[in-house]
Chains A and B, each alone.
Chain A
Amino acid sequence: QKEVEQDPGPLSVPEGAIVSLNCTYSNSAFQYFMWYRQYSRKGPELLMYTYSSGNKEDGRFTAQVDKSSKYISLFIRDSQPSDSATYLCAMSEPDSNYQLIWGAGTKLIIKP
């Protein structure tokens, strides 16, 4: 079993829909949780990060962490075609915060 599980998709939704992207993990020591967005033929870019549990909102994006269930989510409201990309979750322990454990990435397609 991988430390971080993420459905590779693709996930295809119509423009304007609410998108939910998820990752599960097995290591209870993870404290930092990140979402990266990767456009085709580009490097990943940090979208959002949270520490420990709770929610964090940034515009149309909301990151949610449920440590009791070892489950993290990224919600995108009013999705746009420009949101079409691969979304990777990444996590780390506090003492080795350079060592990110990556999900496989979910390919998201927003249909106009």
Chain B
Amino acid sequence: EAGVAQSPRYKIIEKRQSVAFWCNPISGHATLYWYQQILGQGPKLLIQFQNNGVVDDSQLPKDRFSAERLKGVDSTLKIQPAKLEDSAVYLCASSLGTGGGYTFGSGTRLTVV
């Protein structure tokens, strides 16, 4: 079974620039999550999708972050404009349904300078 794919692996941008991350979940997994992990902390949920729909985006800074899930499969997370405090690892995860075991991708390490 192929894992959760994420790209790019690393990204360095200047503050106020925009950036986008891509995630391809495990085939058949209905639920997709984006997490932000700041150095030294546990991951924090940004947004959860169930198929095409958003289940929870209460922790997503909507003034600068946006996310979509295309046809219930791939997802993109965008930051515009980026701030220094957005420097973190952005993790995508998927599960068969809510409450199942999670499978995480390798993450995208974002550095904002």
- Whether both chains belong to one complex is answered with no
Chain A residues engaging chain B, CB cutoff 8 angstroms? none
